[in-house]
Amino acid sequence: MSLVSVVVPVKDERDNVRPMADRVRDALRDSVPWELVFVDDGSTDGTFAELEAVAAADPRVKVVRLRRNFGQSAATQAGIDAAAGDVVVTMDGDLQNDPADIPVLLAKLDEGYDAVLGRRANRQDKLLLRKVPSLAANWVIRKVLGIPFKDFGCTLRAMRRDVVAGLELYGEMHRFITALVLQQGARVTQIPVRHHPRRAGKSKYNLTRTVRVMLDLMTVKFLGSYQTRPMHVFGSLGLGCLGLGFASALAAVVMKYTTGPGMTANPLFLFGAVAGLTGVQFLSLGLMGEVLTRVYFESQGKRPYVVRDRRNLDPAPVRRAA
Separation of CA 1 from chain center:
29
Residue 320 is predicted with a pLDDT of 46
- For the cut 50, the answer to whether the pLDDT of residue 321 exceeds it is no
User: Could you state, in order of their start, the residue ranges of all structural domains in the chain?
Assistant: 4-225+303-311, 230-299
Q: Average pLDDT for residues 59-86, to the nearest whole number? A: 92
Q: Cα–Cα distance between 107 and 167 in angstroms, integer?
A: 23
Q: Average pLDDT for residues 49-53, to the nearest whole number? A: 95
Residue 195 phi/psi, 5° resolution?
-140, 130
pLDDT digits (tens, 9 = 90+) for 96-114: 889 999 999 999 999 999 9
pLDDT digits (tens, 9 = 90+) for 275-312: 778 777 777 777 777 777 777 667 766 666 767 778 88
Split at pLDDT 50, 70, 90, the class of 162 is: confident
Q: Average pLDDT for residues 185-197, to the nearest whole number? A: 86
Split at pLDDT 50, 70, 90, the class of 217 is: confident
Any idea which architecture 4-225+303-311 has in CATH? Alpha-Beta Complex (3.90)
Residue 96 is predicted with a pLDDT of 87
Of 72-81, 102-111, 195-204, 213-222, the poorest mean pLDDT is in 195-204
Split at pLDDT 50, 70, 90, the class of 1 is: low
Query: Contact 212/253 with Cβ under 8 angstroms?
Result: no
Residue 147 is predicted with a pLDDT of 78
pTM of the model: 0.71
Q: Cα–Cα distance between 172 and 217 in angstroms, integer?
A: 9
Element (H, E) at 283: helix 267-299
Residue 128 is predicted with a pLDDT of 60
Which is more confidently placed, 272 or 84?
84
Nearest to 93 by CA among 119, 113, 116, 63: 63
